[in-house]
């Protein structure tokens, strides 16, 4: 498998985390490598889902924690050194072709009841100790997000967004756009992403996603996949 969803978190997820029609939240998370073998180059898939009504609380950020021993080496590929504004104004062309390491898509939803979901295309670029998520919502302004790499943890801030996307927020502190699904795929590139050197006794690798809510609470979800040494 050449490409894998790494964290369907548009990262634009940017926006939200929701849960029942009353401000509660349900969150789903699935992640995995493209191989079950230890110590091998691999792609990675990530899917994140948020559900809930228009009053559901948003998340301010997420942390994607890879299995112990996994390695993501951003020095192994060309890096995009452009600013977010430069990337947005160039349509992503300012980043060298070799810095593209993945792709994906997301669905954004307006707070207004009955509004159709907004399909969003995502391109993932490599940067210094970070992944750049270039979001292209259909019929709306592009967004550029950065997932910062800290050890084996990717930290993604989820800014408040309002419709039309990209305008100065005038729709309240929580925004009126939220992500309801995020699918990201990191390609299998030698030296870039490597699975842990060992498979634990449980024969399972564990991924964790921490949702940091704007209410000050942190919710965690885990995703496990089989492995072999």
131 vs 180, more confident: 131
Cis peptide, bond prior to residue 49, ω within 30 of zero: no
**210-227 pLDDT per residue, tens:** 999 888 999 999 999 999
pLDDT at 169: 57
User: Which residues, at least 6 apart from 36, have a Cβ–Cβ distance to it below 8 Å?
Assistant: 225, 226, 227, 228
pTM of the model: 0.83
The token duo for 156 is 């993604």
For the cut 50, the answer to whether the pLDDT of residue 9 exceeds it is no
pLDDT at 29: 93
Which of the four pLDDT bands, split at 50, 70 and 90, describes residue 10? very low
Which of the four pLDDT bands, split at 50, 70 and 90, describes residue 172? low
**What b/e sequence results for 134-163 when a residue is b if at least 16 CB atoms lie within 10 Å of its CB, and e otherwise?**
bbbbeebebbbbbbebeeeebbbebebbbb
pLDDT at 43: 98
In Å, how far are 81, 122, 136 from 89, measured between CA atoms? 14, 16, 12
Which of the four pLDDT bands, split at 50, 70 and 90, describes residue 165? low
What's the rounded mean pLDDT across residues 195-202?
A: 96
Phi, psi of 75 (to 5 degrees): -80, -10
**13-68 pLDDT per residue, tens:** 333 333 333 344 588 999 999 999 999 999 999 999 987 655 555 788 999 999 99
Closest CA to 161 of 146, 171, 150: 171
Q: SS3 of 143, please?
A: strand
Host domain of residue 108: 3-226
Q: Kindly write down the DSSP assignment for every residue of 117-135, as one continuous string.
A: PEEEEEEEEEETTEEEEEE
User: Which residues, at least 6 apart from 35, have a Cβ–Cβ distance to it below 8 Å?
Assistant: 42, 195
Q: What percent of the chain has pLDDT over 90?
A: 61
pLDDT at 142: 87
For residue 74, count CB atoms less than 10 angstroms from its CB and return exposed for 0-12, middle for 13-18, buried for 19 or more.
middle
Mean pLDDT of the chain: 84
Q: SS3 of 199, please?
A: coil
Number of domains in the chain: 1
């Amino acid at each position: 498998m050449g490409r894998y969803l790494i964290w369907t978190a548009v990262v634009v997820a940017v926006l939200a985390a929701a849960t029942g029609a009353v401000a509660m939240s349900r969150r789903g998370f699935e992640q995995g490598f493209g191989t079950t073998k230890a110590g091998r180059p691999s792609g990675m898939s990530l899917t994140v889902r948020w559900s809930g009504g228009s009053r559901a609380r948003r998340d301010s950020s997420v942390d994607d924690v890879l299995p112990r021993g996994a390695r993501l080496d951003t020095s192994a590929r060309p890096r995009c050194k452009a600013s977010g504004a430069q990337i947005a104004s160039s349509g992503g062309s300012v980043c060298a072709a070799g810095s593209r390491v993945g792709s994906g898509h997301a669905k954004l939803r307006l707070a207004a009841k009955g509004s159709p979901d907004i399909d969003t295309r995502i391109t993932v670029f490599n940067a210094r100790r970070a992944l750049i998520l270039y979001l292209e919502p259909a019929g709306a302004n592009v967004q550029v997000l950065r997932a910062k790499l800290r050890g084996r943890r990717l930290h993604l801030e989820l800014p408040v967004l309002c419709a039309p996307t990209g305008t100065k927020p005038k729709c309240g502190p929580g925004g009126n756009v939220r992500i309801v699904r995020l699918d990201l795929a990191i390609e299998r590139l030698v030296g870039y992403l490597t699975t842990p050197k060992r498979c634990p006794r449980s024969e399972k690798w564990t991924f964790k996603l921490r949702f940091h809510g704007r209410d000050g609470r942190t919710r965690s979800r885990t995703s496990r996949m089989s492995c072999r040494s």
